[in-house]
Amino acid sequence: MLLLLGLALAPAAGAQAAAPLSGTAEVLTNQLGALTRTSPRGAMETAQLFFRDGALRIHFRDNAGGQYALVLPEGASVGWIIGADGGSMPVPRMHWPLRFDADAPCTGLGMFADCQRVENGVYAGRNAVHWRYRLPNPTGPGMTRQGNMWLDAETGLVLSYEGRTGVGREQRWEVRRLRYVPQPAELFDPPPEATAR
């Protein structure tokens, strides 16, 4: 179930290699359901995203009100769920693409990847590009294979997506508020026990 979260540690293949990206966003998503045990299944929940270069950290609450952080250090193949009490649990094979090329998001995603530009507009207060995509592998936002996504026209950050995984599960992500601001590197450090492994 955790593998369905679809988390990424670095920009997806074909993502813009421009200036480092850093900031915070309030997000509404159903991607954390396996961790929060929300009912009904697939319900949208609020989370706080922090990102810096290829690292991300997501603060969320479970259905009992417990506070947690999902930490994905840049370049690592293991993410960490860290509780407010300091306890932690490794989560292997995490992948959550947060950034694509806003002008050609299918670049590098496979020979049969198909992205169709739908429209330009504004999303979460940012100039954005709306794309429809169909991919041969689950390499889209949220590990989806097909769906719709809005990308920040300037940075390629994923502002929204609604898509389906290879097994047909619907994944949704909506940025409500976004600020590009510097984030400290230590915010994305794995817990101390990660270095003992």
Asked whether residue 34 is assigned to any structural domain, the reply reads yes
Cα torsion through 134, 140, 145, 151, rounded to 10: -50
Distance CA 84, CA 82 (A): 7
Asked whether residue 72 is assigned to any structural domain, the reply reads yes
Q: Residues 47-69: pLDDT tens digits?
A: 999 999 889 999 999 888 889 99
**Alpha carbon of 111 to those of 95, 134, 182, 193: distances in Å?**
21, 11, 36, 40
Asked whether residue 194 is assigned to any structural domain, the reply reads no
Distance CA 135, CA 126 (A): 26
What's the predicted TM-score (pTM) here? 0.83
Asked whether residue 146 is assigned to any structural domain, the reply reads yes
Asked whether residue 192 is assigned to any structural domain, the reply reads no
Asked whether residue 196 is assigned to any structural domain, the reply reads no
Residues in the chain, total:
197
Q: Residues 13-27: pLDDT tens digits?
A: 444 444 568 999 999
Asked whether residue 187 is assigned to any structural domain, the reply reads no
pLDDT tens over the chain, length 197 residues: 333 333 333 344 444 444 568 999 999 999 887 776 766 777 899 999 999 988 999 999 988 888 999 999 888 888 999 999 889 999 887 777 889 999 999 998 888 999 999 999 999 999 999 999 999 988 889 889 999 999 999 999 999 999 998 787 899 999 999 999 999 999 999 888 776 55
CATH number of the domain that residue 120 is part of? 2.50.20.10
Distance CA 70, CA 96 (A): 12
Q: Which residue type occupies 155?
A: T
Q: Residue 67: which domain range?
A: 2-181
Total domains, the chain: 1
pLDDT of residue 165: 84
pLDDT of residue 1: 33
pLDDT of residue 57: 96
pLDDT of residue 20: 67
Asked whether residue 46 is assigned to any structural domain, the reply reads yes
